[in-house]
């Protein structure tokens, strides 16, 4: 018998599986669950994009592309960045097309982090940052954001965590799971702290197109920050292209050069059909994006209002497609709330604690669903909360 324990990598084994896996298994096995759990759009990829992919398949253009991605796609990505975040990148040397934003995150870490380096992770946030930092030998250092700051990162909280070993900071806004965004003035004050240091920023802007009442602002636009920032974006959320697995990173050449080298050994290139389709997305689909944003915006208002009426305080998020209501008034922990809700009312939401310790006391609710679906879910959650409060 082979001894798997001695076979397995100690680093891999040390990574904790996601704490709520068990909860998702429950949800998957139950019938008629109303889910508010998924983190992907309910829209289909706009037809024009799908059409391009069909044409490309028909023509048999299914080979590898350049390692960094199709030249045309990098050019379009550069145009897109200059249009949306008013920052120019040179398509040949400052942009790499990746397998989703996820790969770009991993590349950014491994291109910069040496063993023992500290990496700041703003929480609550997407769950991949800390494990990937550890795999690279880095030390994740959590910066907690708070409901009273509308889950924005403050200069004060940042300053407290910077040491002379701090190498990198992840700035995940618009934020999953809170829906928080950073306004220009918030970014200015963060930049004020960072400019005096040697800390590099990895700005995960995958939800940038889903910013409501106002335009998304990137930290790369702030004075002096372009040279110390990698911008990560992608097609999954903005163009409803999750399954196409396509993203990109843009930043200063010395960093992109290292990222590209790792990407080339690890992945070769992002899927070619997806890349051709993404050219169409960037060139022709701004109207589709705007229409989806408008629809999400209506649902956002509907859901925020719904939770506040149930007495579950919910700040009005300005980005992504999540709301993050506080459930402390029920006396339950996030985990208990979610488990009891799914067993008694068959509604699935995600415990806030899954996104970092400071998410405890909150739940993540996705509104990537129809109004009719959201309405029914809110009715059931309302019944549940009433039953809990009446003991």
Partner 1 sequence: MEKLLKILRKNARLSAEELAVMTGRTPAEVETQIAELERKGVIRGYSAVIDDEAFDDDSVLALIELKVTPQSQSGFDEIAARIASYEEVESVRLMSGGYDILVSVIGRNIREISQFVNQRLAAIDAVQSTTTHFVLKSYKENGIIKTDPEKDERGMIFP
| 43: contact with partner 1 by CB under 8 A | no
Cα separation, 133 vs 80, in Å, equals 29
Nearer residue to partner 1 within complex by CB, 83 or 301: 301
Q: Which stretch binds partner 1 (CB under 8 A): 60-68, 77-85, 184-192, 299-307?
A: 299-307
CA distances from 31 to 34, 39, 160, 349, 384 (A): 9, 20, 48, 16, 19
Q: According to the binding rule CB under 8 A, does residue 142 interact with partner 1?
A: no
Instruction: Tell which positions 251-270 bind partner 1, by CB under 8 A.
Output: none
- Angstrom distance (rounded) from CA 312 to CA 304: 10
Specify the residue, 34 or 78, whose C-beta has the smaller distance to partner 1: 34
**Quick one: 337 or 355, whose CB is closer to partner 1?**
355
Q: Which is nearer to partner 1, 276 or 355 (CB)?
A: 355
Q: What angle do CA 227, 145, 351 make, to 5 degrees?
A: 120
Query: How many CB atoms neighbour CB 64 within 10 A?
Result: 10
By CB under 8 A, which span of 39-47, 166-174, 183-191, 268-276 interacts with partner 1? 39-47
Instruction: Looking at residues 75 to 134 of the shown chain, list those that interact with partner 1 (rule: CB under 8 A).
Output: 126-127
Q: What is the 3-state secondary structure (H, E, C) of 100-168?
A: HHHHHHHHHHHHHCCCCCEEEEEECCCCCHHHHHHHCCCEEEEEECCHHHCCCCCHHHHHHHCCCCEEE
Our finding on whether 299 is near partner 1 (CB under 8 A) is yes
What distance in Å separates the CA atoms of residue 69 and residue 72, rounded to the nearest whole number?
8
**How many CA atoms, within 13 angstroms, populate the side-chain half-sphere of residue 68?**
22
Among 170, 321, 355, 367, which residue interacts with partner 1 (rule: CB under 8 A)?
355
Binding of residue 30 to partner 1 (CB under 8 A): no
13, 18, 88, 92: residue in contact with partner 1 (rule CB under 8 A): 18
CA atoms within 13 A on the CB side of 288: 21
Is 37 a residue that touches partner 1 (CB under 8 A)?
yes
Q: Which residues bind partner 1 (CB under 8 A)?
A: 18, 20-21, 24, 27-28, 35, 37-40, 42, 126-127, 176-177, 294, 298-299, 301-302, 305, 348, 350, 354-355, 364, 371-372
């Amino acid at each position: 018998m082979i001894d798997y324990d001695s076979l397995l990598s100690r680093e891999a084994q040390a990574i904790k599986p996601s704490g709520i896996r068990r909860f998702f298994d429950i949800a998957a096995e139950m019938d008629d669950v109303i889910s508010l759990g998924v983190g992907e759009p309910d829209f289909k990829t706009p037809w024009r994009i799908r059409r391009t992919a069909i044409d490309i398949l028909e023509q048999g253009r299914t080979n590898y592309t350049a390692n960094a991605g199709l030249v045309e796609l990098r050019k379009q990505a550069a145009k897109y960045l200059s249009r949306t975040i008013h920052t120019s990148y040179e398509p040949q040397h400052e942009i790499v097309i990746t397998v989703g934003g996820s790969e770009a995150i991993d590349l950014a870490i491994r291109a910069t982090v040496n063993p023992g380096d500290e990496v700041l992770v703003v929480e609550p946030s997407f769950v991949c940052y800390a494990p990937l930092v550890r795999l690279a030998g880095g030390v994740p250092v959590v910066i907690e954001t708070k409901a009273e700051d509308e889950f924005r990162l403050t200069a004060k909280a940042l300053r407290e965590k910077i040491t002379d070993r701090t190498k990198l900071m992840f700035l995940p806004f618009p934020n999953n799971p809170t829906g928080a965004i950073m306004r220009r003035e918030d970014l200015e004050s963060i930049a004020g702290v960072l400019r005096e240091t040697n800390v590099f920023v990895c700005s995960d802007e995958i939800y940038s197109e889903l910013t409501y009442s106002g335009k998304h602002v990137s930290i790369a636009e702030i004075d002096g920050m372009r040279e110390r920032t990698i911008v990560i974006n992608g097609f999954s959320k903005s163009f409803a292209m999750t399954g196409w697995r396509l993203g990109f990173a843009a930043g200063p050449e010395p960093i992109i050069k290292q990222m590209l080298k790792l990407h080339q050994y690890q992945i070769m290139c992002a899927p070619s059909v997806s890349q051709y389709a993404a050219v169409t997305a960037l060139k022709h689909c701004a109207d589709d994006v705007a229409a989806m944003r408008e629809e999400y915006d209506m649902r956002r208002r509907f859901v925020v209002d719904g939770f506040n009426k149930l007495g579950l305080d919910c700040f009005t998020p300005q980005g992504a497609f999540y709301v993050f209501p506080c459930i402390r008034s029920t006396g339950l922990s996030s985990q208990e709330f979610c488990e009891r809700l799914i067993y008694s009312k068959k509604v699935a939401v995600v415990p806030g604690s899954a996104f970092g310790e400071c998410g405890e006391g909150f739940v993540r609710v996705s509104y990537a669903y129809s109004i009719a679906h959201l309405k029914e879910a809110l009715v059931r959650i309302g019944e549940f909360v009433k039953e809990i409060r009446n003991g």
